[in-house]
Structure 1
Amino acid sequence: MRKPVLTIFYQFNPWHSTIGGIQTVITNFIKYAPDEFEVRLVGTSNDTTQPNGKWQAAELAGRELQFMPLFTLQNDNFRHLFPTTLKYTAALLGRCFASDFMHFHRLEPSLAALHWSGNKTLFIHNDIQKQMQSQEDANAILWRRFPQAYYQLESFLVKQFNQILSCNSESVELYQQRYPTIADRVAFIKNTVDSQIFCPLSLEEQQEKKVALTQKLELPANTQFILFAGRLHPQKDPLLLVRAISALTDLNVHLLIAGDGELAADVRHEIEQLGLSRRVTMLGSVVQNELTKLHQLANVFVLSSAYEGLPLVVLEALACGKPVVTTDCGEISKLLPASCGVICQERTPVAVADALRQVLRHAENYPIEACVRAADPYSASAVVGAVYRDMWHHWEQQKLGSNVQNCFTSFT
């Protein structure tokens, strides 16, 4: 008996991944896929070693899969003149990747799939309404300049999906209200954190790694590290964070910025203008195992976003036992208890600085155990496993219906 086939569509190469939570979610869906499924990924290449337009056997996180890159994409941490999502959509047009199950992580590529047969799921990763209405850099997202065109495209495409899963409850409500005829297909899904990778160290190990980093950066031994990780993009508003660090003149803190993107030059300029060169280190894009180490040694993780769905980096920090200071965005207010950090009610440098000061001065109020406990319900193995169980149930029901039909046909 053949295995059901899941094909995942997204514009990335998991072996040379760019910065972003979507990439992590997809990697978790591949890593924790049951053996009963055949998994395929239609993505991009970043060099000539993987020929474009051809299926190739591959392995990711110990899981076998079939991979097809559509085109070569270099450094998608920066916006291109022609948006990558539209380039990826154009590359899909005219092809057929119909499968038993298909997962889309952007709306636009599903334009190519309108006539493909199979069970289709759309994953929503942001608060769509706030994303479209945000005042941060009108050019940050192309559709913000043409909102009516986006909503018309959305209304044309969403009805093809058997499921629409969002990690943001406001987006769930928005889709249910906007498309009442398919409201029962729209549901909330937890974002995922791989607790096999992101986990706390012992206090001795933390101290050892912190000492090594302070020595490497030639900082005082009592330095407290603040970690930011993410794309340097208007959505994440890293400039707000840098200005907050400037307001923390009463603490011996050092900000680690793990990430890259179009605002990198602006962030460097702001650091120089504010005289923070000895208090901020820009690490550039960081691979996952290095990011894990940074989470484990940091005193606090900080997020300064204008909007989010449910940011994975917050789950990763909590899973490593670290408190979080964040702006009020996405699902964070439903996720973060008072014992695990502070949610800033204002998006200002002073508000962020005050929250960081509170957490750093009173670390005893944010115990490791509470942080890990808050992340536990988002374990990738549990969340992804539940999705695959639903898919398998659908597959079994479909087979049962097909067998009944075949029996009826033979009888008649």
Structure 2
Amino acid sequence: MHKPVLTIFYQFNPWYSTIGGIQTLINTFIKYAPNEFEVRLVGTGSDRTQKVGKWQEAELAGREISFFPLFTLENDNFRSLIPTTLKYAAALVGHSFASDFMHFHRLEPSLAALNWQGEKTLFIHNDIQTQIKAAGDKNAILWRRFPAAYFALESLLVRQFSQVFSCNTDSAQLYRQRYPSMGDRVKYIKNSFDNEIFYPLSRTEREAQRHELAKRLGLSEETRFILFAGRLHPQKDPILLVRAIAALNEPHTHLLIAGDGELAADIRTEIAQLGLSNRVTMLGALPIEDLAQLHRISNVFVLSSAYEGLPLVVLEALASGTPVVTTRCGETPKLLATDNGVVCEVRSPECLADSLQQIILHPENYPSTSCVRAAQPYAARTVMRDVYSGMFTRWEKRTLSIAS
């Protein structure tokens, strides 16, 4: 009996530093795939040794996979005039990647798959309705300018999916209401963090390594670190966070910004104009192991987003024993409790600063154990085992049905 084949579709190259929860989730799906599955990834190339338009065998996180780069994409942390998702969707046209299982992390590329046979799953990472209506940069996503066109496209494409998974309960409910005939196919799925990479330190180790980082950055040993990690994109609203640091009247606090993207230059300008050069450090895109180390030694992680699903980076922070401050968006406020984070009810620098101050002044109210406890149900090994178990059971039933 042949192995079931899972093909994952997304516009990235997993061997190169790339920022985003979708990329991290895909890497986790590959790492924890059981040996009973053959895993393939249709992505993009960024290395001349990778032949575009050809299947090639590769290894990722100790797992053998087949990789097919559709085209070369030098840096997917920055948007171009034509959205990468549309380039990727266009490049899929004319190919057939029909498989036992097909995972799509954007809707648009599935246009090429309408006639492909196999079980298709769509992962919804944001509440698209909130995303389209969100205030601010109208260029944040193309569909903000053409919402009617998006929902028409969605209505055409979504019915091909055997399953629609959302990491946001509100978004899942919205899809059930919009497509009542698909109600039993729309499901909430837990996002998951890699618990082999994100874990807490003892209090002694945490303090020692925090002091070492402060020394390395030329800061006081008393420095308390606020961490932001993610794409520097209007969705994440890092400008709001920088302004919150200006409003935070607490000495020896320092913001670490781990990430890259189109707002990087604007952030540097804002930092200079607010006179925060000695209170903010921009680290650029970091390897996941380096980011995990920052999670373990930071005093608080902050999410300043305008809209979200359930960001993996929040789970990674909690799993590292670090409390979270978040704006009221996505699933994160439902995850947090009074002993592992603070929800900022008003999207303003002052409110965000006040929320950060609560944790900075009273760390004893947000113990590491409470943070880790909140993240534990989302550990990758557990979540992936359940997902793959369900897939394998369905595949066996289909295979036996065909054989009989």
What interval of TM-score do these two structures reach, taking the shorter chain for normalisation?
A: over 0.9
Deviations 1:217-243 (A, max 9, x none): 111110100000001100000010001
Percent identity, aligned pairs only, is: 66
Aligned residues: 404
Alignment map for 1:5-404 (pairs within 5 Å): 5-404=5-404
Distance 2:113 2:357 in 1: 50
Pair member with larger Rg:
1
Distance 2:125 2:161 in 1: 16
Task: Report how far residue 33 of structure 1 moved.
Answer: 0.4
Deviations 1:271-319 (A, max 9, x none): 0000000000000111101000110110110110000000111100000
Distance 1:286 1:325 in 2: 22
Contact 1:121–1:163 (8 Å) recurs in 2: yes
Task: Report how far residue 267 of structure 1 moved.
Answer: 0.5
Deviations 1:68-120 (A, max 9, x none): 11111011111111110000001100100000000000000000000000000
Deviates more, 1:91-100 or 1:173-182: 173-182
Contact 1:225–1:256 (8 Å) recurs in 2: yes
The one-letter amino acid of 2:200's match is P
Distance 1:184 1:67 in 2: 32
The one-letter amino acid of 1:45's match is G
Distance 1:220 1:337 in 2: 31
Distance 1:94 1:281 in 2: 46
Contact 1:17–1:23 (8 Å) recurs in 2: no
Task: Show structure 1 runs of 4+ deviating over 6 A.
Answer: none
The one-letter amino acid of 1:214's match is A
The one-letter amino acid of 1:136's match is G
Deviations 1:33-88 (A, max 9, x none): 00000000000011211111111111111111111111110111111111100000
Task: Report how far residue 396 of structure 1 moved.
Answer: 1.0
Distance 1:116 1:402 in 2: 18
Deviations 1:154-197 (A, max 9, x none): 00000100000000111111111111111111010010111110
Distance 2:40 2:250 in 1: 52
Contact 2:201–2:296 (8 Å) recurs in 1: yes
The gaps in structure 1 that reach 5 residues or longer are: 405-412
Distance 1:294 1:138 in 2: 32
Deviations 1:4-43 (A, max 9, x none): 0000000000010410000000001000000000000000
TM-score by length of 2: 0.99
Contact 1:50–1:69 (8 Å) recurs in 2: yes
The one-letter amino acid of 2:50's match is Q
Q: Alignment partner of 1:249: what SS?
A: coil
Contact 1:114–1:157 (8 Å) recurs in 2: yes
Distance 2:255 2:6 in 1: 41
Distance 1:50 1:338 in 2: 49
Contact 2:227–2:257 (8 Å) recurs in 1: yes
Contact 1:121–1:161 (8 Å) recurs in 2: yes
Contact 2:17–2:286 (8 Å) recurs in 1: no
1:407 maps to none
Q: Alignment partner of 1:301: what SS?
A: strand
The one-letter amino acid of 1:208's match is A
The gaps in structure 2 that reach 5 residues or longer are: none
Q: Alignment partner of 2:339: what SS?
A: helix
Task: Report how far residue 250 of structure 1 moved.
Answer: 3.0
Distance 2:382 2:255 in 1: 33
Task: Report how far residue 362 of structure 1 moved.
Answer: 0.5
The one-letter amino acid of 1:133's match is K
Deviations 1:301-359 (A, max 9, x none): 01100000001111000000000011011001211111101000111101010011110
Task: Report how far residue 136 of structure 1 moved.
Answer: 1.9
The one-letter amino acid of 1:95's match is H
TM-score by length of 1: 0.97
Contact 2:17–2:285 (8 Å) recurs in 1: no
